[in-house]
Amino acid sequence: MSHSYDSTVRSTRTVGEAFVDSRGFEWASRAGFVARGAVYAIIGILAVKLALGAGGKLADQQGAFRTVVHQPFGHVLLTALAVGLGAYALWRFVRAAIGRGPEGADRGFDRVAALASGLVYLGLCVLAIEVLVGASSTTKPHKAAAGVLGWPAGTWLVGAAGLGFLGVALYQGYKGVTKDFLEDSKTEEMGRLTKAWIGWIGLVGYLARMVVFGLVGVFLLKAAVEYDPKEAVGLDGALAKLLDRPYGPLMLGVVATGLVAFAVYSWSDARYRRI
């Protein structure tokens, strides 16, 4: 019985590794990085326009999808974006399941992070599909927080979510400052200038994500402590908080430029990331 079970496990793993090593899986995964970059580029560019006084409004991921769908050939573009996000989610789930990376196996923390990331991007894929078919809702973070605060231990759940976002923010900052992200890249295929360029845009991009996720976490904690769901904000709300501060347009412009930098870094990942 044990021998049969071990054989089944080995056979399943062999099939899984063959799938991961296939050309189709690699191309789908790289398309996922392009889609991730596109989402951040749209959000960042809209925020930069607002910071420069050129009009427009701040957008979260759903707002980015709505922006795409209203462009010429928008439904085709959003379909491609949804497919790319789904492919990125699949890649993250595979990383969580069997482990990948420079040494061929990830640490436990990396696998948990990959699973969480996969769930997030699967949610974005579903959201893009909902916008595509006109079935998306416009539930705001403060409304979601209000619902959770009404649950038993709801305050603790919202507070835990806030701490989770702060943890993600700190991790983004760590990856940016240490340039740890380069360990997952094919640096041996980069020229000296290319490696330096990707290192800098990655640094700026990860620090911008640290600021945004940190703000979301802080205001979720504030919502929990003050039992006020109106304090909860999403990505667009976090950017709006920057705009409301002294030198707000400048601060928003810097962070928004960082989000665009992260988009460019994501596109470089489509070429150099170890799949």
**102 band by pLDDT with thresholds 50, 70 and 90:** very low
What stretches of 134-247 show up as alpha helix (H) in DSSP?
A: 141-149, 154-178, 192-226, 235-243
Question: H helices within 99-153, ranges in order?
Answer: 108-133, 141-149
Asked whether residue 154 carries a pLDDT value surpassing 50, the answer given is yes
Q: What single-letter amino acid sits at 267?
A: W
Least confident interval from 51-65, 100-114, 232-246: 100-114
For residue 88, the one-letter residue type is Y
Give mean pLDDT, residues 179-185: 92
Cα–Cα distances in angstroms (integers) from residue 47 to residues 105, 145, 238, 260, in the given order:
38, 25, 11, 10
pLDDT above 50: residue 203 = yes
What is the mean pLDDT of the segment spanning 235-263?
Answer: 92
The residues, ordered by sequence, that sit 6+ positions from 108 with a Cβ below 8 Å of its Cβ are: none
Give the residue with greater pLDDT, 246 vs 259.
259
How do residues 221-233 score in pLDDT, each as one tens digit? 999 998 888 888 8
Task: Choose from 6-10, 130-134, 202-206 the range with maximum mean pLDDT.
Answer: 202-206
CA-wise closest residue to 94 among 105, 79, 82: 105
Instruction: Please check the confidence at residue 119 and state whether its pLDDT lies above 50.
Output: yes
Query: Looking at residues 145-158, what average pLDDT do you find?
Result: 80
- Mean pLDDT over all residues of the chain? 87
pLDDT at position 60, please?
87
Q: Assign 185 to helix, strand or coil.
A: strand
Q: Using 50, 70 and 90 to split pLDDT, how confident is the model at 11?
A: low
Q: Mapping DSSP to helix (H, G, I), strand (E, B) and coil, where does residue 273 land?
A: strand
pLDDT in tens, 34-77: 999 999 999 999 999 999 988 778 888 989 999 999 999 999 99
pLDDT of residue 106 exceeding 90: no
Residue 101 pLDDT exceeds 90? no
pLDDT (0 to 100) of residue 219: 93
How much is the pTM? 0.88
- Could you tell me how far CA 254 lies from the centroid of its own chain? 19
Question: What does the DSSP 8-state code read for residue 150?
Answer: T
